[in-house]
Structure 1
Amino acid sequence: MASFNRKPGQKFQVFLVITDQIRIPRIGHIEQGHCSFLRQQLSDRRRLHNETSLILFYERTFYKLVSTLLKAKATLVLYPYNLYWVIHISSFSSSTMAFATSKNEFFFALVLGFVSLQMAIASDADITSDFIIPPNITNVDGKFFTYTGMRVLVGANPPTTFKGLKASMAEFLALNGQSVSYAVLQYPAGSVNPPHTHPRLAELLFLLGGSLEVGFVDTTNKLFTRTLQAGTGVHYRYNGDAKNYAIAVSAFGSANAGTVSVPSSIFTTGIDDGILAKSFKTDVATIQAIKAGLAPKA
């Protein structure tokens, strides 16, 4: 285990990494916000050996988490990586599982409890230097801080379907630690950017040309909508103009914003048709028709 210095009020950005298929229990009111997102990711077989969503622990909670894991005789490795800490867990002792039906359930009940009670937000970590240089880059000059990926927009014809061109940390390495990124969004006539969430950011959209019907839903399920004209700034977006193209720029308060499309995350991830039919108060045939419409085109 890596050593680290305790600093009162310190914050730790933590990735949890798992090596076994995880069975997550239902934990009632704890499943909300980031907790629900974390639970969904950990129960996905494709996440094995990969990081979960980023969690921000305050100093006391972080040490309590590590201490509890050690007392539970967890097999874990704690190590720093870039701006973050990684906790890698592979097994638990069954002797301390007083309130759960399985070892994995105990741990994730514990973690989700910490997340719901003391987590702030999953966001970019503060950096103590001007910028972060990847280990594979030795010579840094102005080219490192220049992104040319948007040049394809100059003089190009509008696309035939909705298209987003991103400048995030994945495409532009200099953004690592800068807590900023953006995307150029192109809306052909009648196109839509489906309802979605951004798990790690706030977003600001500025409409450069055309018009868009936009909206978002708050945590009380209240819908806010507006029709934007060029020069207006506002989470779905729809170009209701049957003839004209629209283009907008979205700025994000994170270098690695992430986007979770609601239609895709619900209807293309293998959730049982019967469960979806009950959830949406419809029948299985309707659910199957929706899934067919979202299937990749041959």
Structure 2
Amino acid sequence: MALKQALAFLLLFLAACTLLYSAIASDPDILVDFIPPPEGTPVDGSYFAFSGLRSAVGAPPPANFTVTKASMGNFPALNGQSVSMAVLSYPQGGVNPLHTHPRAAELLLLVQGFLEVGVVDTANNLYTRSLQRGDAFVFPKGLVHFQYNCGSGPAVAVAVSAFGSANAGTVSVPLSTFGVDIDDSILAASFKTDVATIQKLKAGLRG
């Protein structure tokens, strides 16, 4: 009987921890319709409008992968709304490198070209899919994922991503691993390689 009570308590504790984590990891709820701008700034229709994505719509092919964001940092009306978006443009062979969004899931809609996308779960299972125009793909919150323009010729791929946070955050796996001052010997041991290889990877990121 005592064992059953202990197990029941443990399950309740784990459930409470899960709920607490979910509450902390999400955008906070607001108790008003929207968060107004600083005092003295008038609120009209322009406060809820954003023109910063115009440059990414119908733009000439980029030389490198580019992201144009509409998030809380440049669109203050999103504060408290738990939503943001981005337009992503990939030249032929362009890649959005391995990364995560710690505060939001990402729903990607491909509007031009072709993409190979993939996501890795916490059991290290890789899920990939080839997308064409009109296809959507969801990247669950916090999981490592990527996108790659696999189209032939000079095709440009363009996608629109929606996020379940006003400030989803982006953690680049290559930069957070090799672009900071983690000791080379620690990285070499972690990747089961040698220091010279680690230094080549770091040099490649700087180049």
State the TM-score, normalizing by the size of structure 1: 0.59
Alignment gaps of 5+ in structure 2: 1-15, 138-144
User: Are residues 1:213 and 2:116 paired?
Assistant: yes
Residue 119 of structure 1 corresponds to which residue in structure 2?
21
| Displacement after TM superposition at 1:116 (Å) | 8.0
User: Are residues 1:233 and 2:136 paired?
Assistant: yes
Distance 1:238 1:261 in 2: 15
- C-alpha distance after superposition, 1:71-110 (max 9, x if no partner): xxxxxxxxxxxxxxxxxxxxxxxxxxxxxxxxxxxxxxxx
- C-alpha distance after superposition, 1:34-66 (max 9, x if no partner): xxxxxxxxxxxxxxxxxxxxxxxxxxxxxxxxx
| Displacement after TM superposition at 1:118 (Å) | 4.4
**Could you tell which deviates more after superposition, 149-158 or 220-229?**
149-158
Residue 4 of structure 2 corresponds to which residue in structure 1?
none
Identity percentage over the alignment? 62
The verdict on how the C-alpha distance between 1:293 and 1:242 changes in structure 2, with shifts beyond 3 A counting, is farther
Instruction: Write out aligned runs for 1:46-125 (5 A).
Output: 118-120=20-22, 121-125=24-28
Distance 1:118 1:249 in 2: 31
Alignment partner of 1:149: what SS? coil
Distance 2:195 2:189 in 1: 9
Distance 2:92 2:33 in 1: 42
Residue 90 of structure 2 corresponds to which residue in structure 1?
187
Instruction: Write out aligned runs for 1:1-298 (5 A).
Output: 118-120=20-22, 121-234=24-137, 235-243=145-153, 244-295=155-206, 297=207
Structure 2 residue identity aligned to 1:221:
N
Distance 2:100 2:94 in 1: 18
State the TM-score, normalizing by the size of structure 2: 0.84
The verdict on how the C-alpha distance between 1:290 and 1:137 changes in structure 2, with shifts beyond 3 A counting, is farther
Distance 1:144 1:191 in 2: 35
Alignment partner of 1:165: what SS? strand
Alignment gaps of 5+ in structure 1: 1-113
Structure 1 residue identity aligned to 2:86:
A
| Displacement after TM superposition at 1:282 (Å) | 1.0
**How many residues were matched structurally?**
183
Distance 1:246 1:137 in 2: 43
Q: Which has the higher contact order (CA 8 A, sep 6+)?
A: 2
| Displacement after TM superposition at 1:138 (Å) | 2.5
Distance 2:185 2:112 in 1: 43
Provide the alpha-carbon RMSD of the alignment. 1.8
Distance 2:67 2:46 in 1: 24
CA contact (8 A) 2:84 2:166 kept: yes
| Displacement after TM superposition at 1:176 (Å) | 0.5
**Could you tell which deviates more after superposition, 131-140 or 217-226?**
131-140
CA contact (8 A) 2:56 2:87 kept: no
Distance 1:180 1:157 in 2: 28
Structure 1 residue identity aligned to 2:25:
A
CA contact (8 A) 2:117 2:147 kept: yes
Structure 2 residue identity aligned to 1:133:
P
| Displacement after TM superposition at 1:219 (Å) | 1.1
| Displacement after TM superposition at 1:281 (Å) | 1.1
Alignment partner of 2:196: what SS? helix
Structure 2 residue identity aligned to 1:119:
Y
The verdict on how the C-alpha distance between 1:180 and 1:137 changes in structure 2, with shifts beyond 3 A counting, is farther
Alignment partner of 2:109: what SS? strand
Alignment partner of 1:156: what SS? coil
